[in-house]
Structure 1
Amino acid sequence: MELLVEVAPTKEKAIEKIRKKYGDRVNILRTQRNNRSFFFGLIERVSVEIFFSVNRGSQSSVHEIPSVQSRTRVSAARVEDTEAEKIKILESAQRINAKIAQQVEPLISAAKEKKTEKVPTSPEAVHTLTQTLEGMIQKITNSAPVVITQELQSIQRIELLLEENDFSFSFIRKSIARLKDELSYHDLESFEKVESTVLRWIIESVHIQVPPICTGTRNIVLVGPTGVGKTTTLAKLAAFYFVTEPKRTGIQPRVKIITTDNFRIGAAFQMERYCELMGLDLCVVQAPVEFLTYMTLYQQETDVVFVDTEGRSPVDGQNIERMVEYFRAVKNFELEVYLTIDAGSKANDLREVFKQYALFEYRALIVTKLDETTSIGNLISALSEARTPITYITTGQTVPSNLEKASVNLLLSKLKGFKLLAEEMGNDYGDYGSKER
């Protein structure tokens, strides 16, 4: 019995080739899976060997080959399209170390020419080529330890800088992977290049949305978890439109305030005090139907209606659903809903807030208490994933002066340790990102 071997990337392809050559006159004896590594394990190639015999009948077949040729076939089957294999190895070597790129380029060109000409290449030639390239890489690696150290130092420095600014593990991991993928080895040697690249990605993570220009009544609603400062923020917004803007435009808008917050002790009293100071009316509603009644009335006689809502924990799904009932009651009105979040919140907490409050279909964010946090990384990490724009930022307790229209530079001012930050903040990022009207 004559033993033959067929090699292919998968078992199915190997059997397909055997059937094509020998038909059904085949006995499969053994299947073996092989893993071959090149370049110190950086390149791995998987193949399947099938050992088989052929039942020789009385009739001759064009597939029958003398035993010497069969042995040649076994040897040749171990390397399919060796010129293509050489090209893959050489191109992989280029990616491993840019220092040998120019040295292997002529070899790649020659291999491509041979592949076009269908010139056969023996397995021994591929083995020799592999050994040669491994030697080149080892020599270059041993002769340039300083370059490798500098690359590692630049990555370590930017990783430490992001950690010091409280960026999330996910943001840091993705940034490091992106640096290695998008920057050349030469660029990775320069920490200035690495820093400027990461700083640009941070800036791209922040999107600003300017307040809309409305011809009718604006219905501005603030939602968000407990303790983020919704009531104070709403008072600042009301003061801005009722006190500050008229001084600039000479036009006095008609402003009304509604609160649905009957849960927190003193919430209505706090808002009532703000309204007294500004000379505004406050309406406290107890049920969705009452909310609908006042919203309908105010559409006819008011320019801006502000609505304060209960603060609920993002894990308090039952009470959040109860808040949604108020919104369902006024579903026919055009609402301008803003999710209010604390600038000092952890990235994981912000992700949960974004998820749970998505029921309210908020159009943008209001970031509060920027003055109370020393690190902005968690916020930017969450923003980079949610891609939700910011419209307003609060920077203190004073009403109304500590309310500002959102800007990238205002957030960048909280970053620490970035030497190129001053240069970047010299640019105008006020309308940066996905600006929407």
Structure 2
Amino acid sequence: MSDQAVKKIKVSSYEEGRDILYQMYRDNYTIVDRKNEFKSGFLGLFQKSYVVLYYTVKQKTQSSEDFQSAQEKILKNTATDTLTLKQNAAMLNMMQEISNQVSELKSATKSDVHPTIAKIESLLEQNEFTHNFISEISGRIRSEFALEELENFKLVEKRVVDWIGHSISIAPVYTHKLPHVIVLVGPTGVGKTTTLSKLAANLILSARKAGQTEPVVRLITTDRTRVGAEDQLKRWGAMMEVPVDKAESSEDLKQLYDAHKDSTDYILVDTSGYSPNDYENIGKMRSLLDLPNVTMDTYLTISADKKASDNLKIIQNYEVFNFGSVIITKCDETTTYGNVLSVLHEKRKSISYITDGQKVPRNIRRASVVEFLMNLSGFTIDRIHIEDTFPEEN
């Protein structure tokens, strides 16, 4: 694994281990598991207890070059008096010992990790799960499986697939009071306008297939940044025979809502896409959508092909919209979902829909735990088992 591979250290107590790790890494480490073990003395007598701490390092540890640089800085600023020289010598010796211990731990990491755990970690990396997620799974394996059980890779693999499935939260389907106001927010380039059109088309087609009266749907765009956004939505609206309005302010939006709330079943609102770093415009859009006495069903739209760190920042900075769940777009542009699933698990966010193409009304469907698990690369998947474990909602 990379710098965040699970490492271990044997110490006489938890406190001693924590102090040593702090000296080595400051706050850049996380203890993921601990075990109490015993070592027999002479002729099996006088057992000695010690603690094994398993941990991950958040950042790159001190290299030999770092040590050399620190040594030079210390020597450069050293006073000539004997006491200071002795103190610096002691400090350098301690740093050298720590550096040596880090090197020993690095070289021992691969041999210290059980082959089953190492293989699971490799599969999770292959599926682009984050280091935090992998560390969580590894720690859970160590705490829940006995050593002899780790020899049964299929048993561990099956349990890990279940754990991944349980880490995925699918948003339930609610019945909303009409008019049901649906709002899509998210950064630029994730496909909000196309996704909004797909949702509108599916509302109409689902009613037709069920032999029900078609709902009255209305589209509103508030997108003032993307050239052609309004025209694109109007083209989709014309194809579906759905009216499209434009709102440039909170007052415009409230007037449109009041004018059509008694004659419309669904009002779908498209919004401008802003970088998660554009705090000013995100704040303005939040104010535009803040309508008194209007309940909005807000979805954050994120892309499956973005890096985990990017999606994490998007989720954090768009939380001001109090979105209920997430729509994952561009699933056809990636072969792995680990990055986005890891972040959603970490932020405790649920998934409503996924999209995998540009075709309207197709290429959108309810999110499914079974589908995510079936797309795991390298894992042996027992489909019957996961369908029983994660039944689909009708």
Does TM, normalized by the shorter one, top 0.5? yes
Pairing partner for 1:420 from 373, 381, 384:
381
Residues 231-246 of structure 1 mapped to structure 2, 5 A cutoff: 231-246=193-208
Once residues 397 and 45 of structure 1 are traced to their aligned partners in structure 2, the CA distance between those partners, rounded to angstroms, is 55
Once residues 14 and 267 of structure 2 are traced to their aligned partners in structure 1, the CA distance between those partners, rounded to angstroms, is 67
Check whether the contact 2:374–2:381 (CA below 8 A) recurs between aligned residues: no
1:130 to 1:306, Cα distance in 2 relative to 1, 3 A = same
Once residues 42 and 131 of structure 1 are traced to their aligned partners in structure 2, the CA distance between those partners, rounded to angstroms, is 20
Letter in 1 for 2:37: I
> Counterpart of 2:166?
204
Task: Find out whether 1:172 has 2:134 as its counterpart.
Answer: yes
3-state SS, counterpart of residue 283 of structure 1 = strand
Letter in 2 for 1:341: I
> Counterpart of 2:227?
265
1:251 to 1:341, Cα distance in 2 relative to 1, 3 A = same
Pairing partner for 1:308 from 253, 257, 270:
270
Cα deviation, residue 395, structure 1: 2.0
Could you tell me the TM-score, scaled by structure 1's length?
Answer: 0.65
Pairing partner for 2:361 from 393, 400, 409:
400
Pairing partner for 2:293 from 332, 339, 343:
332
Check whether the contact 1:407–1:430 (CA below 8 A) recurs between aligned residues: no
1:408 to 1:290, Cα distance in 2 relative to 1, 3 A = same
Letter in 2 for 1:294: L
> Counterpart of 1:384?
345
Q: Which runs of 5+ in 1 are unaligned?
A: 1-39, 48-93, 105-126, 135-147
Check whether the contact 2:204–2:214 (CA below 8 A) recurs between aligned residues: yes
Cα deviation, residue 199, structure 1: 1.1
> Counterpart of 1:226?
188
> How far does the alpha carbon of each residue in 1:142-199 deviate from its partner, in whole angstroms, 9 at most, with x for none?
xxxxxx9797111111111111100111111121122112211122222112212221
Task: Find out whether 1:342 has 2:300 as its counterpart.
Answer: no
> Counterpart of 1:323?
285
Cα deviation, residue 282, structure 1: 0.3
Once residues 305 and 44 of structure 2 are traced to their aligned partners in structure 1, the CA distance between those partners, rounded to angstroms, is 54
Residues 31-430 of structure 1 mapped to structure 2, 5 A cutoff: 42-44=11-13, 95-96=36-37, 131-133=45-47, 152-328=114-290, 330-427=291-388, 429-430=390-391
Letter in 2 for 1:227: G
Once residues 337 and 317 of structure 2 are traced to their aligned partners in structure 1, the CA distance between those partners, rounded to angstroms, is 22
Once residues 420 and 227 of structure 1 are traced to their aligned partners in structure 2, the CA distance between those partners, rounded to angstroms, is 34
Letter in 2 for 1:233: T
Once residues 366 and 404 of structure 1 are traced to their aligned partners in structure 2, the CA distance between those partners, rounded to angstroms, is 10
3-state SS, counterpart of residue 338 of structure 1 = strand
1:193 to 1:420, Cα distance in 2 relative to 1, 3 A = same
1:253 to 1:428, Cα distance in 2 relative to 1, 3 A = farther
Check whether the contact 1:406–1:430 (CA below 8 A) recurs between aligned residues: no
3-state SS, counterpart of residue 240 of structure 1 = helix
Give the aligned CA root-mean-square deviation in angstroms.
2.9
Identify which range, 187-196 or 256-265, moves more after superposition.
187-196
Cα deviation, residue 216, structure 1: 2.1
Letter in 1 for 2:293: N
Once residues 119 and 144 of structure 2 are traced to their aligned partners in structure 1, the CA distance between those partners, rounded to angstroms, is 18
Letter in 2 for 1:221: V
> How far does the alpha carbon of each residue in 1:217-245 deviate from its partner, in whole angstroms, 9 at most, with x for none?
10011111111111000000000112332
Check whether the contact 2:161–2:373 (CA below 8 A) recurs between aligned residues: no
Q: Which runs of 5+ in 2 are unaligned?
A: 1-8, 17-34, 49-109
Greater radius of gyration (CA): 1
Once residues 279 and 41 of structure 1 are traced to their aligned partners in structure 2, the CA distance between those partners, rounded to angstroms, is 70
> How far does the alpha carbon of each residue in 1:304-363 deviate from its partner, in whole angstroms, 9 at most, with x for none?
1000001111111111011011122x1320111011111222221121111111111111
Cα deviation, residue 373, structure 1: 1.0
Q: How many residues align?
A: 308
1:253 to 1:298, Cα distance in 2 relative to 1, 3 A = same
Once residues 352 and 261 of structure 1 are traced to their aligned partners in structure 2, the CA distance between those partners, rounded to angstroms, is 22
Once residues 150 and 294 of structure 1 are traced to their aligned partners in structure 2, the CA distance between those partners, rounded to angstroms, is 65
